[in-house]
């Protein structure tokens, strides 16, 4: 592992008018794909605070992808990154690796940090509980199914979902199995991956590849309600977007086949539905709902589902977006895109190497990005509100 190349604000803030122009410090950056508009000031800027290469390149590796979202340990300020080489690493501000823990398989999803413990969902089917300070193993739970979502904490239990559509509930203190809920996948093709449960009050809400959205009591896994959202068929029925729950009790999810649904979280009743196919990621901000999919990013009115705008991504799939500093930030295989939420205009494109698949993590003005080449970047965002 080579040492971190630290950029402590060595380049002037990056803007749509030019990406890292004139900076030649060897960072794997590949330019700005968005045409600059010098007739108006740049919409958003950022600086690269620091970066750290985590994964050694493999000989003849084609199309590397890092799918696990980084997260932040709030106690130490260190970033927890799980990567395709099977490592979980705790990275201090500036890029120094404080500790690392090796597992047998690549990580499909990022970790959870809760009360001094890192819960890491292994691609080998094992949920690992690690001491956040030292990386020492506290316990492990073998599910025997590849785990594909970040864990979620709920009332003393950790919830995590497998690629086989099983939701496991594990005691956070001991790693003992508490309960599980499973739905049989459909016989036809499905979209790879699973949605992360969202927890509110006594319940966890989760979509499955058979087209159902389910509300479960996180205490014992009992079913509050089940709602079939996808229409008849056997292929691409997936409701695999992580549900978005707003302060009005509305759940927003998307069926790959049948579009976005707004659902009453009390009973599963459908409030509205669009018919836009191919949506795989959602994020909400105020009364706007932003959706990414096969080749686009779109905005809808959260109250009615009315379409506001769509921006074409040129055939590149948009991954699950985040909202930060007045921008919709969309990872895709080409670059990290910064999009104006009012108009859909692509304001900035930044490629740290082979694009970005994992959703970035936002902490106040910091954006933590894991590139598909396995580089971890801390960006300081400037501009609009958080």
**Which of 35-49, 136-150, 291-305, 313-327 is least confident?**
35-49
- pLDDT tens track for 52-81: 999 998 877 888 999 999 999 999 999 999
Neighbours of 192 (CB within 10 A): 12
Least confident of 63-77, 179-193, 343-357: 179-193
Model confidence at 45: pLDDT above 90: no
- Please give the residue that has the higher pLDDT: either 26 or 101: 101
Token output for 27: 């960072």
User: C-alpha distances in angstroms, 377 versus 54, 81, 316?
Assistant: 10, 11, 22
Q: Which range, 54-58, 173-177, 325-329, is most confident? A: 173-177
305 forms beta bridges with: none
Instruction: Say yes or no to pLDDT of 218 above 80.
Output: yes
For range 346-363, the mean pLDDT: 93
Closest CA to 281 of 267, 262, 296: 296
SS3 53: strand
Most distant pair of Cα atoms in the chain: their distance: 61
Q: What is the pLDDT of residue 193?
A: 62
Report yes or no: 291 and 260 within 8 Å, Cβ to Cβ. yes
Instruction: Decide if 280 contacts 240 (C-beta within 8 A).
Output: yes
End-to-end CA distance of the chain: 35
**Paired strand residues for 80:** 71, 90
Contact 260, 271 (CB under 8 A): no
For residue 45, the cross-strand partners are 382
Model pLDDT, residue 190? 54
Across the range 276-280, mean pLDDT stands at: 89
Q: Please, which residues have CB within 8 angstroms of residue 165's CB and are 6 or more apart in sequence?
A: 182, 183, 184, 185, 194, 208, 209, 210
Using the predicted structure, report yes or no on whether residue 11 has a pLDDT greater than 60. Answer: no
Of the candidates 6, 108, 112, the residue with the CA atom closest to the CA atom of residue 51: 6
Domains of the chain: 68-182 (2.40.128.630)
> Following DSSP, what letter does each residue of 162-219 receive, concatenated?
BTTSEEEEEETTT--EEEEEE-PPPSS---SS-PPPEEETTEEEEE-TTSEEEEEETT
d(Cα 156, Cα 325) in Å, to the nearest integer? 33
The pLDDT value recorded for residue 235 is 55
> How high does pLDDT run on average in the chain?
86
Number of neighbours of residue 217 by Cβ within 10 angstroms:
16
């Amino acid at each position: 592992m080579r040492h971190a190349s630290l950029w402590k604000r060595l380049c002037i803030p990056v803007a749509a008018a030019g990406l890292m122009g004139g900076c030649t410090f060897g960072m794997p950056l590949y330019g700005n794909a968005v045409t600059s508009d010098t007739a108006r000031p740049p919409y958003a800027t950022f600086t690269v605070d620091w970066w750290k290469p985590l994964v050694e390149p493999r000989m003849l590796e084609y199309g590397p992808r890092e799918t696990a979202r980084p997260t932040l340990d709030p106690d130490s300020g260190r970033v927890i990154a799980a990567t395709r080489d099977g490592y979980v690493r705790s990275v201090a501000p500036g890029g120094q690796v404080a500790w690392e823990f090796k597992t047998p398989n690549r990580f499909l999803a990022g970790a959870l940090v809760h009360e001094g413990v890192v819960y890491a969902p292994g691609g080998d089917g094992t949920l690992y509980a690690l001491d956040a300070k030292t990386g020492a193993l506290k316990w492990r739970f073998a599910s025997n199914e590849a785990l594909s979502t970040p864990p979620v904490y709920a009332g003393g239990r950790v919830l995590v979902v497998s690629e086989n559509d099983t939701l496991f509930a594990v005691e956070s203190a001991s790693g003992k199995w508490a309960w599980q809920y499973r739905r049989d996948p459909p016989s036809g093709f499905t979209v790879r991956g699973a949605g992360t449960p969202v927890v509110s009050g006594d319940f966890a809400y989760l979509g499955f590849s058979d087209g159902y959205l389910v509300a479960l009591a996180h205490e014992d896994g009992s079913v509050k309600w089940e709602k079939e959202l996808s229409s008849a068929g056997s292929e691409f029925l997936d409701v695999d977007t992580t549900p978005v729950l707003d302060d009005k009790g509305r759940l927003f999810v998307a069926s790959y086949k049948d579009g976005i649904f707004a659902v009453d979280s009390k009973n599963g009743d459908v409030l509205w539905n669009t018919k836009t196919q191919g949506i795989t990621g959602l994020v909400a901000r105020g009364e706007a709902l932003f959706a990414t999919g096969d080749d686009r990013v779109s905005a809808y009115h959260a109250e009615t589902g009315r379409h506001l705008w769509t921006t074409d991504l040129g055939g590149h799939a948009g991954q699950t977006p985040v909202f930060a500093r007045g921008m919709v930030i969309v990872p895709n295989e080409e670059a990290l895109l910064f999009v104006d939420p009012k108009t859909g205009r692509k304001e900035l494109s930044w490629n740290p190497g082979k694009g970005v698949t994992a959703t970035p993590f936002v902490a106040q003005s910091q954006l933590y990005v894991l590139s598909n080449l396995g580089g971890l970047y801390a960006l300081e965002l400037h501009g609009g509100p958080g």
